[in-house]
Structure 1
């Protein structure tokens, strides 16, 4: 019998080798020297007691022997005592590990004593002897599956309790109930208002709530959003979709919602390749074409301006992506895309489907109480596939017939034919085409619609903006260079984004590891909600936030942003900022400038001649836009030119 001391990643352990064994060599993998039992004990010892967890082997079979070893080591370590040399395991099981390299120390110092045990040969045939008799009865008595589960749970809890961050408190929030957490506290709609109130009630810009295992960390200040989503973007750049959206409906291909990783990076790179800010040929031509159509529709049917805005932006996105002809009214591809985005926006809100909270509901047969969501999921899945497949098929047909216009799909297909894309890139064409509509159409529609509502509700702002536009454009349509000569209009568009943000809760992020912020623990896997509404409606930052005041972003007649920039915030944070921002900003500016140049927009009157003040009603969803069509007059200005054809 002799003692040999080994070091496993810095943890020194004395092993007592009893009986005959094959030669010990530091170059020999541990499972070939002392068998899988030794490997399992050392792996678990280092993993849970060193407080520096490493990844365990992927192919693992743990039964009573290794479980007892692990339990004993953990228990004795928790009592600040070394393991007992008299504690012997049953030899009825093993933990199958991959090779673990150890280093040998001939003269160890301050070595922690470890249990004695006999070797197990590579064939996993135990050596019979007194060492393996003590706990055979326990090994026979305990059902290994349940026992192993308990051991791993105990080990995990021990490690979490031993982690310095685990001792930190969670951010404040409403009191959590057993099992369901804050499920009853979640508001049905206007969640951003409740989240803002929680921040005020608990006097914290970081709030934590939980619902049946779903952890939400709500950020209510620009400082917190910048610190975590910008400065720590390496940890906070991932995304996690609700299970219903990702797995059951199938939206896991959506770039805006994909986890941070190689797949997301590849799609973003391809998007930037075809829609780089320096490459405007694809989208500017579509903007000009659709802007002319919008202005003529406003001339012929001014009362339908909201419908015209939505249809124009949708048509621009479809033609830019697919290069197919769009019907003047009721185009099926445009209407299908609009309906899909509206439904998707509602699905993004946590708790929309019960199955996101109670995952076991997915195993219940349809028709069982609580499974009404299954029919809705099926309809949404069919809608998603139609949204992806039908316009893409039409685009390929148009390319084959020679009737396609310049588009993302046509350029992509040309690059495929000329061998400029890898096979992996070629498989992404359908996904990427569908991304184009989702990425910007609803953001542009909401911003332009809110612009119309704002200048109707605040006529003084309209007069100032129109005076600037008339001075610069003199009745013509806007061009790209005009933007630098219209500081008031630029400030107005920033104020519109602040007054009624498209995404009042931003886009959720997901944290990929445990983190600490301001003395609070941010748990791994939490959804991080940048509640931008709490910034825009903070009276200390924006006095009288309900009022529309472009002057907030002006100084000495020039554009000046001294605090949080609504444009920057509305397009996202860190690595997940919108890559198509330049397209959205361009379209919004040109529509606003051209409409102000060509039309006078005023309030309508009731039967008694009184001016009607439209309500600022908005839809409910992660993205929002004016919910009920509001009325306004959009007559052509007698001093302005007739819209182009």
Structure 2
């Protein structure tokens, strides 16, 4: 057989194979169930022009209503996106089928260009993720949830004193509360001001991550090949953004870790922390696949993840009670009945403070810190309720849509803690945002027990000591905040003013010695 005949035969084989594959795909495509409902889209670009404007979680909720579906499907230039706007559907897929829904999308911007792949929050599902998650869970599971109570007490009391000294800076004080506390827990570092080098290292890094994780922020996530274009190329500003963010993230992860490591080796550790304990137990931990890099990565994840989400909820609390001062009065009446104004509330008081618990639940429902949820990636084809969800699809659970569903929470856009109460106690028949807000399945937030304890003590003690209301303008008219929030993956209230004053000298004296 001549060379030309061989090439002709090979070419024929390739063409025949391609035709066969195309026919199989066509046959399967015609026989498989349909995709979930969603806008029709256009060839090649799919639903690019249908992608909702900010805030996208509200846009997805409206789109779900428009197409009368709890499972929304969009084709983003060949990449499939599925948005779950119903908590029962989210539980069915992300929890009961977690074996195939526990991966994360590729995220070229965050993981590859910004270098954040060390965080198990965005890490692909696998052995490394399991090792990091197991290490985190060991320190934050519900059976040891109270081990950080002393640190929480100290941080909250510092927050209250800072609030009394400069109440106009309350939003900054909230950030400092959560940032200083997570630094103390992760590294045993006690800081006194925002200018501290460890605290300062985190601010810009966290802002960059929140922007980059929001779908649609950067085109490189849709076209990963763009990551190879040079930084000087027109339209490659994302490369400059990523380079700076990577430098900030590396600093966030390295600076406090190596500080603790040096102190550990010099035997000058003065305070307990996650990192110090892990370094001490490293010989034993190594048997389960833990090394120094894992300790460094998980420590940074504690700091990175814990600071933003909890500060968002505390700031949302201040926004809510500024807009609704009557909530403050009702909460203070309950606190006074239980405590008599003679001491600050503690964790043991929670069962006797149902209205405070209702306020916390309503804050989480009204302004969820992560309103779109964190993306999952489906690892193999799935069929649910007759709808086909393809492998590789990015899946969001959209907590905002659930929490603003009028059938679950009537008058859902209003702030009403009473919706969670019945006969003066928490109503078990109302869906609990504390259960839903942290995700579900194998990717559920492992720090949720710690976060809820911090929320309770901060909100209860703030209300015990301070009156909070709207500010007044020059004519004595109330300056009511408009309630708007940022549009990042973690959503914060936009800056607003609030009138914060001690309830009395006696109330102020409760924080003087703490």
Please classify the TM superposition score into its range, dividing by the shorter chain length: over 0.9
Partner of 2:320: 454
SS in 2 for 1:253: coil
1:175-201 deviation digits (Å, cap 9, x = unpaired): 222222112222342001111111111
How far 1:423 sits from its partner (Å)? 7.7
Deviation string for 1:46-84 (max 9, x for gaps)?
xxxxxxxxxxxxxxxxxxxxxxxxxxxxxxxxxxxxxxx
* Residues 600 and 637 in structure 1, CA contact (< 8 A), matched pair in contact too: no
Q: Which structure carries more relative contact order (alpha carbon 8 Å, separation 6+)?
A: 2
- Of 437, 445, 464, which aligns to 2:303? 437
SS in 2 for 1:216: strand
Q: Residue 463 of structure 1 aligns to a residue in which SS?
A: helix
Pairing of 1:178-189 with structure 2 (within 5 A):
178-189=43-54
Indicate yes or no: 2:115 matched with 1:250: yes
On the 8 A contact 1:282/1:320 being kept in 2, the answer is no
User: How far is 1:601 from its partner?
Assistant: 1.2
- Residues 604, 612 of structure 1: 8 Å contact kept: yes
Does residue 290 of structure 1 match 2:175? Answer: no
Task: Report the CA distance between 1:288 and its aligned residue.
Answer: 1.0
Moved more, 531-540 or 495-504: 531-540
Unaligned runs of 5+ in 1: 1-132
**Superposition deviation, residue 618 in structure 1:** 0.9
TM-score (norm 1): 0.75
Question: Which of the residues 348, 356, 359 maps onto 1:492?
Answer: 359
Quote the Cα distance in structure 2 between the aligned partners of 1:154 and 1:481. 70
SS of match in other structure, 2:280: helix
Alignment deviations for residues 233-261 of structure 1 (CA, whole Å, 9 cap, x no partner): 22212211421112222222211122222
Aligned-pair CA distance for 1:350:
2.1
Aligned counterpart, 2:207: 342
Aligned to 1:615: 482
Task: Quote how far apart the aligned CAs of 1:563 are.
Answer: 3.8
- The SS at the match of 1:171 is coil
Q: Distance in 2 between matches of 1:480 and 1:581?
A: 16
Q: Relative to 1, partners in 2 of residues 1:406 and 1:631: Cα closer, same or farther, differing over 3 Å?
A: same
Please point out which of 99, 114, 121 is paired with 1:234: 99
Q: Secondary structure at the match of 1:472?
A: helix
Distance of 1:210 and 1:589 partners within structure 2? 41
Judged with a 3 Å threshold, the aligned counterparts in structure 2 of structure 1 residues 280 and 362 are, in CA distance, closer, same or farther, namely: closer
Distance 2:95 2:197 in 1: 40
Would the aligned equivalents of 2:71 and 2:84 in 1 still touch at CA under 8 Å? yes
- Relative to its length, the structure with more helix (as a share) is 2
Structure 1, 473-482 or 430-439: larger mean CA deviation: 473-482
Pairing 1:359–2:224 present: yes
1:219 aligned onto 2:81 = no
CA distance in 1, matches of 2:428, 2:146: 30
- Give the distance between the partners of 2:270 and 2:495, measured in 1 at CA: 36
- 8 Å contact kept, 2:328–2:467: no
Q: Is the partner of 1:257 in helix, strand or coil? A: coil
Q: How far apart, CA to CA, are the structure 1 residues paired with 2:279 and 2:240?
A: 37
1:576 aligns with 2:435: no
Equivalence for 1:167: 32
Pick one of 505, 515, 540 that aligns with 2:382: 515
What does residue range 229-628 of structure 1 map to in structure 2 within 5 Å? 229-280=94-145, 282-399=147-264, 400=266, 402-416=268-282, 419-422=284-287, 424-427=289-292, 428-475=294-341, 476-628=343-495
Structure 2 length-normalised TM: 0.93
Residues 575-616 of structure 1: per-residue CA shift (max 9 Å, x gap): 211111110000000001111111111221111111211121
Structure 1 pair 431–152 and aligned structure 2 pair: CA distance change class (3 A): farther
Deviations 1:96-143 (A, max 9, x none): xxxxxxxxxxxxxxxxxxxxxxxxxxxxxxxxxxxxx6x975432367
State the aligned residue count: 509
- What 5-or-longer segments of structure 2 have no aligned partner? none
**CA displacement at 1:298 relative to structure 2:** 1.1
Deviation at 1:155, TM superposition (A): 4.7
The offset of 1:452, in angstroms, is 1.0
Superposition pairs of residues 16-165 of structure 1, within 5 angstroms: 138-141=5-8, 148=14, 153-163=18-28
Deviation by residue 1:479-536 (Cα, 9 ceiling, x = unmatched): 2211111111111111111111111111111111111122211011101111121111
Q: 1:543 deviation in Å?
A: 1.0
Cα offset, 1:153, TM superposition = 4.8
**1:202 shift after superposition:** 1.0
